[in-house]
Amino acid sequence: MSHDIADYFHENFTEKSREILIRKGPAYLQNKDSDFSDTSKTYTDGDRSVTRYFNKSLFIRKLKNNESVERKWLLFSPSKNSVFCFSCSLFNSSDLNLCSSSGCSDWKHINHIILAHENNPAHRRSMITYLARSKAVGRVDIDLISQHQKEVDYWKNVLKRIVAVVKFLTSRGLPFRGDNEILGSPNNGNYLGCVELLSEFDPFIADHLKNFGNPGKVFLLKGF
């Protein structure tokens, strides 16, 4: 059986091929030790040309808490010299980037494309579908599940603290925003003020602030 995800698109992923690939898991199709020199593409940047390649480091993701995790869902297709998403290719009918039949080879914007892809709700849904299906066929991808769970737990922890601050301010009818949204500013309002106060005693929130915003920089409510 082919190790190249692009070879499965011609049959439009029959239920049979889907099940076989679920049993094999993404590692079977990842090709992360391939020679990527053939992926070179030349872009024009003003009056000079720049050559870009697919970079192996994209198989690793740095989490907000500085932990590194493997991007197990990211696949390289040697025949197309492009990258695909394992779970979206299998379960998404929509034409998301990284799950079209030609994959993605926009190396100039690939960092942004991959980050946007893994934060896309459709991608998260396809990952959940994959994990549920792999469980159903008795193939539990422990690594992928724990990676997914770690992220879920991290954001649950952030949310818990946000909810506590929101509840506190709402119960006293206090305004959230101040004159600015700058960390460390005495005029950044009750919401950010409370978050900063929490961070003095709560190492989790202190780390989150350290990774998300620097004192003196604008720190938007929605980014927290």
What residues make contact with Zn ion under the rule CB under 5 A? 85, 88, 123
Q: What is the DSSP track for 162-176?
A: HHHHHHHHHHTT--S
Q: Which residues of 72-94 are buried (b: 16+ CB within 10 A; e: fewer)?
A: bbbbbbeebbbbbbbbbbbbbee
Nearer Cβ to Zn ion (58/88): 88
Measured from the CB of residue 101, what is the shortest distance to Zn ion in angstroms?
15
Nearer Cβ to Zn ion (111/170): 111
Sign of the dihedral defined by the CA atoms of residues 192, 209, 62, 23, in that order: negative
Residue 52 near residue 41 (C-beta atoms within 8 A): yes
Measured from the CB of residue 200, what is the shortest distance to Zn ion in angstroms?
39
Nearer Cβ to Zn ion (120/157): 120
Measured from the CB of residue 130, what is the shortest distance to Zn ion in angstroms?
9
Q: Which residues pair with 75 in a beta bridge?
A: 84
Can you tell me the distance from the alpha carbon of 90 to that of 93, in angstroms, rounded to the nearest whole number?
A: 8
Measured from the CB of residue 155, what is the shortest distance to Zn ion in angstroms?
18
Can you tell me the distance from the alpha carbon of 18 to that of 93, in angstroms, rounded to the nearest whole number?
A: 13
Nearer Cβ to Zn ion (151/196): 151
Nearer Cβ to Zn ion (120/190): 120
Measured from the CB of residue 97, what is the shortest distance to Zn ion in angstroms?
9
Nearer Cβ to Zn ion (5/85): 85
Measured from the CB of residue 92, what is the shortest distance to Zn ion in angstroms?
7
